[in-house]
Structure 1
Amino acid sequence: MIVVMETTATQEQIDHMTERVRKLGLKANVIVGTERTVIAAIGEKREDTKDSLASGPGVSSVMPIIAPYKMASREVRPEPTQVQVREFRAGNGICGVMAGPCSVESEEQLMSAARAVKAAGATALRGGAFKPRTSPYSFQGMKEEGLKLLAAAREETGLAVVTEIMSTDDVELVAKYADVLQIGARNMQNYRLLEAVGNVDRAVLLKRGASATMDEFLLAAEYILNEGNENVMLCERGIRTFEDHTRFTLPLASVPYLHRKTHLPVIIDPSHGTGHTYMVPDMAVAAVAAGADGLIIEVHPDPENALSDGYQSLEFNQFQATMDRCRVVAEALGRSMG
């Protein structure tokens, strides 16, 4: 349930009610809004819990949380959350852009991509050091050497680093180098991994599973939030359907739906969502028009010879043109590209 504090509630009263929630055997999550503070009381409740909390000092009202995802729900935090990492921002009117190669392949490849996406207006560099591949014989990534190259690219360009993490064993290592930890579609319901990144002081980009429902997606985010990490972004990267003209089916209706249900920023991945280079620019622009809080786009200096996902990667000039179009749409809607 939600303990809604009065707009005039003092910090002492908030602290008192937080402690009262804990004494009732519930987990207390304090959320400071623009107008008032609420305390989400999570856990098994007794019959007298509501009355006990409602009588507390500085309390305006106590309401049940109807949604199964408690911390991610708009019921708990009506205002949209903005995630900020270095110069990258996503949410609350800002559409942040993460761009770069699918895989880190070499210093020359990564540095050229980092400089190009920075020049075009991206504020975060994506690049896979650990790569989950369908075949064990495919390129698996440069691992820690790739992470070091990403950190070097950040040092030169100032771009925030976004990279995928695949195992709880790698959390400490990847967090040492990255600013944003990406949970890939295959790991969306790897609950131990979700809990692990929830305990790290890094933003998390959670990708929707290829067959996951929206409730499953939001409950996966709940695992991270429940551990105390509030810097979570939801990424729609397409779902598996009977269609075969695209790699996946990219449902842009996810953007307004998720905005209605959750305060978390919604990121769109038009690269995986389509699987075809020629479709990526149009779907990126459409995502901005739909209200997306961010984009993650694959960009490579030589897509034809990329070690992974070259068929859906943009060349530098294509990415620049895409960013120019996205800016026009964002500005027309009173938003900005961050």
Structure 2
Amino acid sequence: MIIVMKVGSPEEEITRVSQEFTDWGLIPEKIIGKHKVVIGLVGDTADLDPLQIQEVSPWIETVLRVEKPFKRASLEYRHGEYSDVIVPTPDGLVTFGRNSPVAIVAGPCSVENEAMIVETARRVKAAGAQFLRGGAYKPRTSPYAFQGHGESALGLLAAAKEETGLGIITEVMDAADLEKIAEVADVIQVGARNMQNFSLLKKVGAQPKPVLLKRGMSATIDEWLMAAEYILAAGNPNVILCERGIRTFDGQYTRNTLDLSVLAVLHTLTHLPIMIDPSHGTGKAEYVPTMAKAAIAGGTDSLMIEVHPNPAKALSDGPQSLTPERFDRLMEELAVIGKAVGRWSQPAVALV
């Protein structure tokens, strides 16, 4: 349920109303919008009478039920206002959201060595990226495939961060590693294979760093949003949804099927920012630029693109990685579309 307060409601009255709902055994969450304050009620509200709630205060404008199973993640919960996820980085604040320029995340699938990750970081920063992606811990289908360098790779990400000022996005696979990952990462990624690892979702929801939640390879939109609900319910409001392709019947030409229709669908369902990953979504570097441009035209809030200085020798996911030179050209191409839809920032200044 959400309680919409009237314009100009006194802060003291909002506090009093919230306390009354707390006394009822509910959890009130205050959401400050552009013009009004909304109080979200979480708990057993099924038998509550909206008219009874209306009588709690003359400053209550209306009482609405949230019909979706995902309460906090729903657009209704924020009374139709989209939320921003604002991430501090060494270079300043970066905003993921519908009213901000498209945020660009780029880097290799996995951190291989210091020279490689620092070089890649410098190149993607010079092209205009705000975040470096790179896996320290890598979930792989085969137990014999490269699994990442683990904790030592976190140190390499920290070195790249210090060198370039980029924010860091890296994946957590085990809650036991969460604390040390959070020391380096500015955004913590939950990968597709862990989208329904509910104990892990609760753990990342209980810590303060923003969370990037990738869609499971066979997950429905409702399942994806319910996974986000676990993080939100644990207390972390800063969740970014990432579409990375789903498994369909045709795997001959692409690794996955990149579901760009989620952009239109999610904009009607949730207030959370949306990221598109065309690298995993297609699995082939030659298709990445086309899908990245389509994603910006379709309204994405962010892009995640794999970049490697020598894809042919990458330890993981080389076929879907762009070279730094191709990434440079792609950023120029994306700028044309981004500016046309009003979602592009000024060109970045190359590192000296």
Same fold (TM over 0.5): yes
Q: CA RMSD in A?
A: 1.3
Offset, 1:92: 2.1
Residues 84-93 or 207-216, more deviating? 84-93
Offset, 1:83: 1.4
Q: TM-score, normalised by structure 2?
A: 0.93
Residue 159 of structure 1 is matched in structure 2 by: 166
Residue 303 of structure 1 is matched in structure 2 by: 311
Is 1:204 equivalent to 2:204 in the alignment?
no
Q: Contact 1:24–1:49 at 8 Å: present in 2 too?
A: no
Q: Contact 1:96–1:337 at 8 Å: present in 2 too?
A: no
Residue 70 of structure 2 is matched in structure 1 by: 69
Alignment of 1:178-193 (within 5 A): 178-193=185-200
Q: Contact 1:88–1:97 at 8 Å: present in 2 too?
A: no
Give the residue type in structure 2 aligned to 1:92.
R
1:247-302 deviation per Cα after TM superposition (whole angstroms, max 9, x unaligned): 00001111111011111111000000000010011111110011100000110011
Give the residue type in structure 2 aligned to 1:123.
Q
Give the residue type in structure 2 aligned to 1:96.
A
Give the residue type in structure 2 aligned to 1:30.
K
Residue 32 of structure 1 is matched in structure 2 by: 32
1:108 and 1:44, CA in 2 relative to 1: closer, same or farther beyond 3 A?
same
Residue 273 of structure 2 is matched in structure 1 by: 265
Among 122, 128, 133, the alignment partner of 1:126 is: 133
Alignment of 1:259-298 (within 5 A): 259-298=267-306
Counterpart Cα distance in 1 of 2:7 and 2:60: 9
| Unaligned ranges ≥5, structure 2 | 347-352
Give the residue type in structure 1 aligned to 2:37.
T
Residue 54 of structure 1 is matched in structure 2 by: 54
Residue 321 of structure 1 is matched in structure 2 by: 329
1:292 and 1:48, CA in 2 relative to 1: closer, same or farther beyond 3 A?
closer
Write out the 4+ residue segments of structure 1 that deviate beyond 6 Å after TM superposition.
none
Alignment of 1:89-168 (within 5 A): 89-93=95-99, 94-168=101-175
Alignment of 1:216-235 (within 5 A): 216-235=223-242
- Count of residue correspondences: 338
Give the residue type in structure 1 aligned to 2:263.
V
Give the residue type in structure 1 aligned to 2:47.
E
Among 77, 88, 96, the alignment partner of 2:94 is: 88
1:64 and 1:256, CA in 2 relative to 1: closer, same or farther beyond 3 A?
same
Offset, 1:337: 4.6
The percentage of counterpart residues that share the same residue type is: 50
Counterpart Cα distance in 1 of 2:16 and 2:50: 16
1:327 and 1:274, CA in 2 relative to 1: closer, same or farther beyond 3 A?
same
Q: TM-score, normalised by structure 1?
A: 0.97
Q: Contact 1:201–1:229 at 8 Å: present in 2 too?
A: yes
